[in-house]
Structure 1
């Protein structure tokens, strides 16, 4: 798990395989993120793509821990703020088994994890070994807009 700010995106562009992180970084740096409507945006086929979401944050206890086997998430906050929580996958208890069609597994909510408040132009990078819980409210329910860039790791 990595927590950082927009000004440091260049640091991560050489990670991963086949220049996929570089494509993700270029998208985040060169796109007017605030102008994007919610939906899916292709960057490099199934290897790199973005999901723009807008929702109201929810209580921490209602948010769900998840992880992915084949994709890294860059969860980048465009507007608003939320608490995102991290815990190592090997410390989690599976609640809903892995769904290969959606590349997601859900975990029990019993681990407190490391909670981070992320605001505009801040992001967390969650690798396949990182369980993460997005969507939790920071104090009160509030609107948020973010982009989740998905990077295929194999």
Structure 2
């Protein structure tokens, strides 16, 4: 798991797909992008979503085998819980949606605000959308899914 601000994105260009994904975040007018899912190419999917944050226990651990997530906060803030998948218990894996549901304890949290991002690799379980403090917050997020 990597967490940083979009100003530092060049440090995290691991291949051409990361370059395309990050350049999308800095060049596009993301405020005008409608909510939903968009294919950039065969290897990159963009998701724009909005939601209110949740309390720990109202959501679940997830991980992916086929994609790396770059989760970018466009507006708002949230905490994301993190644990390596090897210390969690897998409940189910949905191959069609590339969604692995797990259970177990939180190892750490990352607090993301406007223009911050986190990268989650297949070994990184994450529980996104958590309240940054004790109250719910509206979040607008862009998720870049990069095919492995």
TM-score normalised by length of structure 1: 0.91
Gaps of 5+ in 2: none
TM-score normalised by length of structure 2: 0.95
Give the aligned partner of residue 116 of structure 2.
122
Gaps of 5+ in 1: none
Give the aligned partner of residue 70 of structure 1.
66
- 1:28 has 2:25 as partner: yes
Give the aligned partner of residue 42 of structure 1.
39
Cα drift, residue 22 of structure 1: 1.1
Does the 8 Å CA contact 1:27/1:43 hold for their aligned counterparts? no
**CA deviation string 1:108-152 (max 9, x = no partner):** 1x3122111101000100001100110111121111000010001
Aligned residues: 147
Pairwise CA RMSD = 1.0
The runs of at least 4 consecutive aligned structure 1 residues that moved more than 6 Å come to: none
- 1:8 has 2:14 as partner: no
Aligned match for 1:148, one of 119, 143, 146: 143
Give the aligned partner of residue 80 of structure 1.
76
